[in-house]
Chain A
């Protein structure tokens, strides 16, 4: 069992626990659905490790995960940007484009080869959503207490992860030859750091969300 605990799985599992504890009773579906998404993420990651240990091709679980990533992260952004008509349209348009790219990728390379084109495009699209969310945040008149804003921290996680991930994906060929330890090259360590940032931001955002819901309940009772 301990063989399955990597930097990635540890942070994903702890984030799943926090999501289950904080969001299982959330009133808003996009937030609630994060529990399911993180469960699928953990399951895919563990399946990937299992298949690798068994010396099988382990890319297809990540192709399944990619579908869930497009679906759930777009759904979350839809929830965060739906108040703005352009944001709403952008998320719908982005979702349509990514779906088309995914189908093209599958048709070109098959299901057992990782859909790099879709993944890279998704990273760019999610960075654009994040920047648009921040733009709306700057533009709005009302004061938001960013320190306790669940949406803000969730988007921060996405921006950090996918911005850095885009760079790693672009330069993967050059970065992969830089061996930090005999076992792992530079991209591995960058991804570890990005994962830590992503899941830390998300965990904090779930706590903020729970805190907000509890406070609202206390205030309304």
Chain B
């Protein structure tokens, strides 16, 4: 090899040696910048999650208050009005009839007390979730059953982890409430089934009804569509996904799979 060639080779190698640290330093600066951006995005996501959690909490409370309001008006209010009417209609001269009406009034009062006690349970709102997701859903189911319009089958999973995840529980509970609302408002169903299952670190919630169903592929843009979008959004926010299967006249099935706990 000629002397010039060797000299050129040496110069090129030296230049490479001199430039290499520049690339290393520039790479580290760029990587650090990206890391910073990634962390900011993570913080933003955490903030969004917390905001969604607060919103869910408020919605659960609002739903509870609505149920309580409706129940006070439609149920306990009616019972107490009936009690008042019965007591007013007592004729003291007719002892047998009076005794009968007093007994009826006692019965109505006892029913009112029972209803009030059930309302008390519901008033606990999000505290209900603290008892565990299966228990919270059970309370919601028993409340739905009381209307007498639905035949509900509830299968709570037996293999659910003892230590749950309160944040996820709250969001799942709100999803259940949202699905119940949809069934009440739009489905005209008579049979509902709910199943909770846990396997491979995932919680699976399946809710089916035999209502009128809808075309799941072309959801309406109105409130009903928004409700289903909310279900999907909420499932996604806790790292899960929601599958909604329905067709007109064939009821609907909502399956939610979430990493749990």
Q: Is the CB of A190 within 8 A of B14?
A: yes
Interface residue? B162 (CB, 8 A): no
Contact (A163, B32) CB under 8 Å given A171-B13, A174-B6, A174-B10: no
Partner of B28, one of A137, A167, A190: A137
Choose the segment among B16-24, B56-64, B229-237 that binds chain A (4+ C-beta atoms closer than 8 Å): B16-24
* Distance of A133 from chain B, by nearest CB (Å): 10
Does B224 make an interface contact (CB < 8 A)?
Answer: no
* Chain-B contact segment, one of A58-66, A138-146, A205-213: A138-146
Chain B CB within 8 A of A168 CB? yes
Residues of B with C-beta under 8 A to A138: 28, 31-32
B2 contacts the other chain (CB 8 A): no
Task: List B contacts of A167 (CB < 8 A).
Answer: 13-14, 16-18
- B24 partner, pick from A131, A171, A175, beta carbons under 8 A: A131
A163 to B36, CA, bound (A): 28
Taking a contact as CB atoms closer than 8 A, the residue among B18, B22, B25, B39 that contacts A143 in the complex is B39
Tell me whether A159 and B21 are in contact (CB under 8 A).
yes
Q: How far is the CA of A137 from the CA of B21 in the complex (A)?
A: 16
Contact status A166-B21, CB under 8 Å: no
Chain B residues within an 8 Å CB radius of A185:
none
CA distance A137 to B28 in the complex (A): 8
A193 to B13, CA, bound (A): 17
Known contacts A143-B35, A143-B39; A174/B7 CB under 8 A: yes
B interface bracket (residues with beta carbon within 8 Å of A) = 20 to 34
A152-187, CB under 8 A of B: which get 1 and which 0?
A: 100010011001101110010011011000000010
Contacts of B31 in A (CB 8 A): 138
A144 to B10: give the CA distance in the assembly, Å. Answer: 38
Contact A144 B32, beta carbon cutoff 8 Å = yes
The yes or no answer to A134 lying at the interface (CB within 8 A) is yes
Q: Give A213 Cβ to nearest chain B Cβ, in Å.
A: 22
A167 CA to B17 CA in the complex, in Å?
A: 6
A19 to B29, CA, bound (A): 25
* Contacting residue for B14 out of A146, A159, A160, A175, CB 8 A: A175
Give Cα A134–Cα B21 distance, bound, in whole angstroms.
11
A164 / chain B contacts, CB cutoff of 8 Å: 14, 17-18, 21
Across-interface contacts of B6 in A (CB, < 8 A): 174
> What 1/0 flags go to A120-137 for Cβ under 8 Å of B?
000000000001001001
A177 CB to closest chain B CB (Å) equals: 8
Q: Which of B64-123 contact A (CB under 8 A)?
A: none
> CB < 8 Å: which of A163, A174, A178 contacts B17?
A163
Residues of A within 8 A of B22 (CB): 160
- Known A143-B35, A143-B39, A146-B29: A175·B21 in contact at CB below 8 Å: no
User: A residues within 8 A CB of B13?
Assistant: 167, 171
Among the interface residues B10, B18, B21, which one has the most CB atoms of the partner chain A within 10 A?
B21
A171 in contact with B25 given A138-B31, A143-B36, A166-B17 (CB within 8 Å): no
Q: Once the chains are docked, how many angstroms separate the CA of A137 from the CA of B20?
A: 18
- A residues lining the B interface (CB < 8 Å): 131, 134, 137-138, 143-144, 146, 152, 156, 159-160, 163-164, 166-168, 171, 174-175, 177-178, 186, 190, 193-194
What 5 A-B pairs come out closest when comparing CB atoms?
A167-B17, A174-B10, A171-B10, A164-B18, A160-B21
* Other 17 A-B pairs with CB < 8 A, given A138-B31, A164-B14: A131-B24, A134-B28, A144-B32, A146-B28, A159-B21, A159-B25, A160-B21, A164-B17, A167-B18, A171-B13, A171-B14, A174-B6, A175-B11, A177-B7, A178-B11, A186-B11, A190-B14
